[in-house]
Amino acid sequence: MQMKSYWLDTSPPFVSASDALPEGKCDVLVVGGGITGSAAALALARKGARVVVCEAGIVGGAASGRNGGMCNNGFAQDYAALSQRLGRECADRLYRAFDAGVDTVERLVREEAIDCSFARYGKLKLAAKPAHYDRLARSHALLAAGVDPHTRLLSRAQLREELGTDHYHGALLMEKSAGMHVGRYVRGLAQAAQRRGACYLEHNPVLGLQRQAGAYVVRTSLGTLRAGQVLLASGISQVGPFGWIRRRIVPVGAFLIVTAPLPPALMAQLLPTARMCTDTRNFVNYFRATPDHRLLFGGRARFAASNPRSDARSGEILHRQMLSVFPMLADLPIEYCWGGMVDMTADRLPRAGQRDGLFYSMGYSGHGTHMATLMGTMMADIMEGRADLNPWKDFPWPAIPGHFGKPWFLPFVGAWYRLKDRLQ
């Protein structure tokens, strides 16, 4: 078994055309070469800006190349509950922003000819308990009559046509959701930005930022550069002078395993409609087929950080969970296991904007493949003065009480969610 991201292992590497900082001042310096940073770099370069992307590791090496490759429209949380909390008008506006995220991925894949198997497979939100089905039914009634007629409620019997297991109690089908090979996507996005003139410097963390005469002096490990504007597309960044952000984002581990390729007949039995699947638990499980017919099975497994030991332990838990859903896979080897850190906010909604002259976009809370694409693209306009476009502009972002950068409280949050999963 390989302890690395299947997506990064099965996509052509990104090849940077530069190994030194460019001469003179750049228009925009982007911190981070994930989906947010590369979507922004592409949009900015298309506008003719001189863009430099500084990436601490490799392009797509963090969450962007380590996720489930699902572009699921809708929210991480229950639509009915969120629209009650935010008001229907606001919830629908945000819902449309997630739809626009999937549309933006689809458009960029087409325009930049990114070969990443993007397709609108649809998503099944699977009821893990009978009561969860009732909750899905309430959300469906509101969605179907309003913001998303492309949704269907499937009873347990109807679900049989979509899934080769009796593990779940029905589902909400969201037809606009998509899936892709996210390694090929994030690297393709960066390659497209580079083709259009963006300069990428990998293994080059931003270590310091200073404002000077209307510009930023940016200290990186390769030297110092002047930039007119700076965009933080740095996810859960643990490097650099970003304490303000670290007090607002909670890095939460998430883990994945990928099986050996399945015989076509067995795959057709398990996932005949090839949907993206996720369940309703807080300790969520999600699964899908990869483009080369393996089963990817992921989840929170435990509230823990991702590191090689933790990934291996979580992989064992996920394997047991996978077999409880699909016992017929008992003899199928697991070929990949890895983990990553999800950039969670307290309310599981993203944040983007400007603070003290610095622009930022992050906190996608597990719904980032498409929202990072939308926000990266949109930041190019927001940085030109179009703050009105920003769907998250009215959302305050207070620091999380007691959070100083290391999430010491995660085991307690984990225990609370485990209890909730048991009781609800």
Range list of β-strands (E), 146-222: 151-154, 171-174, 178-179, 199-201, 206-212, 215-220
**Looking at 231-239, 322-330, 352-360, 413-421, which segment touches ligand FAD (CB under 6 A)?**
231-239
Which residue number, 139 or 278, has a Cβ lying nearer to ligand FAD? 278
Which residue's CB atom is positioned nearest to ligand FAD? 368
Q: Are 211 and 357 in contact (CB under 8 A)?
A: yes
Which residue number, 133 or 364, has a Cβ lying nearer to ligand FAD? 364
Residues 6+ apart with CB under 8 A from 321: 285, 297, 299, 301
Which residue number, 139 or 365, has a Cβ lying nearer to ligand FAD? 365
Binding of residue 245 to ligand FAD (CB under 6 A): no
Block residue for tokens 């458009």: 107
Q: Are 299 and 253 in contact (CB under 8 A)?
A: no
Residues 169-228 touching ligand FAD, rule: CB under 6 A, are: 205-206
Binding mask 22-51 for ligand FAD (x = CB under 6 A): ---------xxxxxxx--------------
> Site for ligand FAD (CB under 6 A): how many residues?
42
Which residue number, 67 or 139, has a Cβ lying nearer to ligand FAD? 67
Name the nearest CA neighbour of 397 among 211, 248, 230, 229. 248
Structure tokens at 329: 């896979």
Q: What share of the chain is helix, strand, coil (3-state, %, to 5)?
A: 35, 25, 40
Q: Are 352 and 395 in contact (CB under 8 A)?
A: no
- Strand 178-179 with 171-174, pairing: unpaired
Residue 241 DSSP symbol: S
Which residue number, 55 or 106, has a Cβ lying nearer to ligand FAD? 55
Of the candidate residues 43, 49, 52, 62, the single one contacting ligand FAD (CB under 6 A): 62
Which residue number, 50 or 300, has a Cβ lying nearer to ligand FAD? 300
Binding mask 360-389 for ligand FAD (x = CB under 6 A): --x-x-xxxxx-x-----------------
Q: What's the chain's length in residues?
A: 424
Which residue number, 36 or 259, has a Cβ lying nearer to ligand FAD? 36
Binding site for ligand FAD (CB under 6 A): 31-37, 54-57, 61-64, 66-70, 205-206, 233-235, 237, 239-240, 254, 256, 340-343, 362, 364, 366-370, 372
